[in-house]
Amino acid sequence: MHVKENSLIKATAPSNIALVKYWGKRNRALNLPLTSSLSLTLRSLWSEATVEESSSGQDEWEITGDPSKAQRVLEEARTFTGDRRPLRISIENFFPSGAGLASSASSMAAFAKALAKFLGEGTTSLDEMARWSRLGSGSSVRSLLPGYVLWEAGREADGSDCIVSQAFPPEHFPLSLVVCVVNDKPKPIGSTAAMERCRDTSPNYQAFHDRNSFDLERALSAIKNRNLQGLADVAESNCLAMHDVMHQANPPVNYFLEGTHKSISLTRELRASGVPCFFSIDAGPNVKIFCPPEHHQSVVDACNTLTELVDILEDPYKPPTS
């Protein structure tokens, strides 16, 4: 008889930041996106999940915040593998949680990887792992791969063609990231509720999704040609269009704070002064500034002049090790 893995299993996954954003679902229960998105997987902002059999006869959780997302991932993994042993689970983020820094993406991806090793005994396919992870956080599927990652919306009702793939390896167009942390507290409204309010009340919601394929094409071609200005144009305008959808919702969803506006202006000033860089902002006030690795320190130095920031996080480019 084959005895299943019983020792503690660990898995990690980094966060990812979308260059062409996901901001709407075509199926809420399955967390299927309305349109495709494209991101860059980070290196130094990451989560770790550990899984082992629980001796108490029931699941034991050690997780910051609400475990309901992780419970959905676990239920899907159990249904697929048929392994319903009670588990002791811990999920830890090594950066601020719930502040628009995509901690749910890295934590759900790390958890799906740990479950794939423990329940799936390492034979689970990427598509299957992504299906588990997606139920916890849609954008987490992009954290399962390094580099520039495409998450395709697909059209099938069951999500079978909603898949994730690497568009370019990180070394094709190395980019560093500096995060201007304006506020590291959990955001006032979660992304699912905010997306639904936008769908129901924002006049720009459809227009944002209509521009998706054009933005994706432009972003992919800019990355392919290592064209920073081209990528800056599309990433910034796509991000601002997403926030415009939010600002026009009723009541408005406004994640921006004073420091957000200052960080946007700083990025524009830096670029005008010859430092190639661009910003992106997710469901939170913090501003992520991308730049080629050789300009990383100039961006950090400039961010240090902003008095509104509570912290500066650095995610320098690291060449892949293998």
Interacting residues toward ligand PMV by CB under 6 A = 18, 21-23, 37, 102, 104, 137-139, 191-192, 282-283
Task: Give the pair of three-digit tokens for residue 177.
Answer: 């990231």
Q: Kindly tell me which of 200 and 301 has the beta carbon lying closer to ligand PMV.
A: 200
Q: Are 144 and 126 in contact (CB under 8 A)?
A: yes
| Dist CA 128 CA 169 (whole Å) | 22
CB of 238 to ligand PMV, least distance (A): 10
CB of 38 to ligand PMV, least distance (A): 9
Q: Kindly tell me which of 9 and 38 has the beta carbon lying closer to ligand PMV.
A: 38
CB of 12 to ligand PMV, least distance (A): 19
- Say how many C-beta atoms besides its own lie within 10 A of residue 233's C-beta: 16
Q: Are 130 and 163 in contact (CB under 8 A)?
A: yes
Q: Kindly tell me which of 18 and 77 has the beta carbon lying closer to ligand PMV.
A: 18
- Say how many C-beta atoms besides its own lie within 10 A of residue 79's C-beta: 11
Residue 243: which of 276, 212, 271, 283 has the closest Cα? 283
CB of 37 to ligand PMV, least distance (A): 5
Residues in the chain: 322
CB of 137 to ligand PMV, least distance (A): 4
Q: Kindly tell me which of 228 and 235 has the beta carbon lying closer to ligand PMV.
A: 235
Task: Give the pair of three-digit tokens for residue 67.
Answer: 């475990």
Q: Are 75 and 67 in contact (CB under 8 A)?
A: no
Q: Kindly tell me which of 192 and 297 has the beta carbon lying closer to ligand PMV.
A: 192
Q: Kindly tell me which of 63 and 270 has the beta carbon lying closer to ligand PMV.
A: 63
User: Residue-wise over 26-50: b if at least 16 C-beta within 10 A, else e?
Assistant: beeeebbbbbbbbbbbbbebbbbbb
CB of 311 to ligand PMV, least distance (A): 19
